[in-house]
């Protein structure tokens, strides 16, 4: 890697990499904390629904008064995109808003780093296609688990290994799919009062717990790498790092996978709630297969953990640092013209599934809410079923009953076909349906 060297050349030339950040939440704040320590990188404009909150975030992460005074804080995303910047970082977490900002950035000839993985899974394949045609970079966000996993998959393939499985770790039990914001904090070991005093959003945290965020991130990885999606959804097998080569291999080889070449999430909890030994809750992994006996012998000689056959091995990162690592995406786009992960096709989708028996007339409340959770599905199956994407299951009314555990379909809801995000998603489905 030579990003720091390339950035130093820009700094010396007096041509810093200039970035507009849209969304100064936790991810954005972590990115901002690194900016003063990265000579040659500037963030002259920050967009947030509450500009004063964004100023406070900058103070919290250590910006001095002079840097804050030199920065424009605004609610106007369009104005920020029109600013004299090279890279737009979209970190709102709102799928519809994210699509709008990404398309505006692409139209303006700006690179777009999509922290907003919800938007990426809803319509990323078409956004990436638009960006390639416009000659700009559309990129997943380094530091978040999809980009880190995509990097490991690329490393494995570039070194001649076959990728058997790739994904991340999380805390999971089957009962979590039905958890609502009202009951989320007990699973994190917090009281509601403690969470409220810390400013923690129960619906956002619940989207991590109920499996929705895992499904979204695995769909992003599948679309970026070409790996397949499990036909019946994620298994979330309990598995520690030492057992990855044993567990994450096909069933005919003694593992749990239906086949080789899939995305999957491993749980940090056994099914009875006991902690997994040496879990991967915060990390990412890739399981690879030796192409020949010589490579398998090298695995053993260099101490790599393998399965009993010696042919399957795993590499992993135990942690991810989200926004603290985002500079890698920003600089890769600006200085190399390369994404740190990008959708190449439409292989994985995330469908809204009922958390309870839903009745006609009820309003869906999206990721992490009281009504639905997001289930990973092969894109071909999602299109065949007519599944409603979780990214569009916000503030839409059911027109018919949906049973607990059933997939919500487009035909089950009132949907505004003229809505920009809906129209763009439909255009993506039309374009990529021939390829799935």
Span 327-383, pLDDT tens digits: 999 999 999 999 999 999 999 999 999 999 999 999 999 999 999 999 999 999 999
In-domain check, residue 185:
no
Task: Verify that 287 and 157 share a domain, yes or no.
Answer: yes
Segments forming the whole domain that contains residue 293: 146-172+211-320
CB 235 within 8 A of CB 375: no
Contacts of residue 382, defined as CB under 8 A and 6 or more positions apart, other chains included, come to 349, 351, 389
Confirm if 427 and 346 have CB atoms less than 8 A apart.
no
The tokens for 58 are 């900058």
| Residue 201 counted as domain residue | no
My answer on whether 168 and 118 are in the same domain is no
In a domain, 200, yes or no: no
Residues 426 and 299 reside in one and the same domain? no
Instruction: Specify if 177 maps to a domain.
Output: no
Residue 195: inside a domain: no
Grouping H, G, I as helix, E, B as strand and the rest as coil, residue 354 is strand
Task: From 286, 60, 38, 271, select the one nearest 156 (Cα to Cα).
Answer: 286
Q: Are residues 291 and 429 in the same domain?
A: no
Q: How many domains does the chain have?
A: 3
Backbone φ and ψ of 206, nearest 5°: -70, -30
What tokens appear for 144 in the block? 């978040």
Whether 190 is covered by a domain: the verdict is no
Query: Does 361 share its domain with 379?
Result: yes
Residue 58: CATH number of its domain: 3.40.50.720
Backbone angles phi, psi at 265, to 5 degrees: -110, 135
List of E strands, 171-318: 262-267, 284-289, 312-317
> 155 and 131 in one domain?
no
CB-based contacts of 111, cutoff 8 Å, min separation 6:
86, 87, 88, 105, 136, 137, 138, 139, 333, 334
Task: Say if residue 46 is in the same domain as residue 115.
Answer: yes
Tell me the two tokens of residue 79.
Answer: 């104005």
Taking the CA atoms of residue 395, residue 397, residue 401 and residue 404 in that order, the dihedral angle to the nearest 10 degrees is 0
168 with 314, same domain: the answer is: yes
As separate numbers, helices (DSSP H) first and strands (DSSP E) second, the chain gives 17, 14
- DSSP code of 335? I
DSSP lists the bridge partners of residue 114 as 90, 140
Contact between 303 and 7 (Cβ < 8 Å): no
Residue 123 sits in the same domain as residue 254: no
Q: Which helix (H) or strand (E) holds 87?
A: strand 87-90
Tokens of 338: 């390369």
DSSP at 405: T
What's the confidence (pLDDT) of residue 436? Answer: 64
The token pair at 220 is 């992003």
- Token pair belonging to 195: 């969470």
For residues 338 and 150, the answer to whether their CB atoms sit within 8 Å is: no
Question: How many CA within 13 A on the CB side of residue 171?
Answer: 13
Same structural domain, 153 and 275: yes
* Size of the chain in residues: 436
Asked whether residue 218 falls in the same domain as residue 236, the answer is yes
- 355 and 237 assigned to the same domain: no
Q: In 324-372, which residue ranges form alpha helices assigned H by DSSP?
A: 327-331
Nearest-CA neighbor of 393 among 375, 372, 407? 372
* In contact, 32 and 61? CB cutoff 8 Å: yes
pLDDT in single tens digits along all 436 residues of the chain: 699 999 999 999 999 999 999 999 999 999 999 999 999 999 999 999 999 999 999 999 999 999 999 999 999 999 999 999 999 999 999 999 999 999 999 999 999 999 999 999 999 999 999 999 999 999 999 999 999 999 999 999 999 999 999 999 999 999 999 999 999 999 998 888 888 877 788 998 999 999 999 999 999 999 999 999 999 999 999 999 999 999 999 999 999 999 999 999 999 999 999 999 999 999 999 999 999 999 999 999 999 989 999 999 999 999 999 999 999 999 999 999 999 999 999 999 999 999 999 999 999 999 999 999 999 999 999 999 999 999 999 999 999 999 999 999 999 999 988 899 999 999 999 998 877 6
Separation of alpha carbons 49 and 69, rounded Å: 19
Give the Cα separation of 340 and 311 in Å (integer). 29
Question: Does residue 398 fall inside a structural domain?
Answer: yes
21, 25, 34, 51, 331 from 48: Cα distances, Å: 9, 9, 19, 5, 23
Residue 314 placed within a domain: yes
Residue corresponding to tokens 């990529």: 432
Q: Which CATH number fits the domain that encloses residue 361?
A: 3.90.1210.10
Q: Is 191 helix (H, G, I), strand (E, B) or coil?
A: coil
Q: Say how far apart CA 335 and CA 3 lie, in whole Å.
A: 7
Place of tokens 């809803």: 122
118, exposed or middle or buried, with CB in 10 Å at 0-12, 13-18, 19+?
buried
């Amino acid at each position: 890697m030579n990003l720091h060297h390339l950035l130093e050349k820009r700094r010396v030339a007096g041509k810093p990499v200039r970035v507009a950040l849209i969304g100064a939440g936790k991810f954005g704040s972590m990115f901002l904390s690194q900016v003063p320590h990265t000579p040659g990188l500037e963030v002259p404009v920050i967009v947030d629904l509450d500009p004063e909150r964004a100023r406070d975030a900058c103070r919290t992460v250590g910006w001095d008064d002079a840097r804050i005074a030199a920065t424009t804080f605004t609610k106007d995303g369009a104005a920020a995109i029109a600013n004299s910047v090279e890279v737009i970082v979209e970190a709102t977490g709102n799928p519809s808003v994210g699509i709008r900002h990404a398309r505006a950035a692409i139209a303006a000839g700006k690179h777009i780093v999509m922290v907003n993985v919800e938007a990426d899974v809803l319509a990323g394949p078409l956004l990436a296609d638009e960006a390639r045609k416009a000659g700009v970079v559309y990129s997943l966000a380094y530091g978040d688990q999809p980009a880190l996993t995509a990097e490991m998959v690329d490393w494995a393939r570039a070194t001649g290994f076959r990728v058997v499985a790739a994904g991340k770790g999380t805390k999971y039990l089957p009962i979590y799919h039905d958890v609502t914001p009202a009951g989320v904090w007990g699973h994190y070991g917090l009281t509601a009062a403690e969470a409220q005093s810390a400013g923690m959003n129960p619906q956002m945290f619940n989207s991590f717990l109920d499996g929705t965020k895992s499904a979204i991130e695995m769909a992003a990885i599948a679309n970026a790498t070409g790996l397949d999606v499990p036909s019946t959804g994620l298994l979330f097998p309990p598995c520690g790092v030492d057992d990855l080569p044993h567990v994450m291999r096909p069933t005919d080889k003694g593992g749990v996978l239906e086949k080789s070449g899939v995305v999957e999430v491993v749980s940090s909890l056994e099914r009875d709630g006991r902690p997994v030994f040496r879990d991967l809750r915060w990390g990412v992994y890739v399981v690879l297969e030796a192409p020949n006996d010589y490579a398998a012998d090298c695995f053993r000689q260099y101490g790599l953990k393998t399965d009993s056959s010696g042919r399957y091995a795993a590499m992993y990162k135990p942690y991810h640092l989200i926004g603290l690592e985002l500079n890698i995406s920003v600089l890769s786009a600006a200085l190399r013209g390369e994404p740190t992960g990008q959708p190449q096709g439409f292989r994985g989708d995330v469908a809204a599934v009922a958390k309870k028996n839903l009745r006609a007339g009820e309003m869906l409340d999206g990721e992490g809410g009281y009504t639905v959770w997001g289930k990973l599905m092969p894109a071909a199956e999602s299109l065949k079923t007519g599944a409603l994407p979780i990214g569009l299951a916000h503030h839409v009314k059911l027109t018919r009953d949906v049973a607990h555990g059933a997939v919500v379909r487009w035909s089950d809801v009132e949907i505004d076909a003229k809505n920009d995000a809906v129209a763009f998603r439909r255009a993506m489905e039309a374009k990529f349906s021939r390829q799935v």
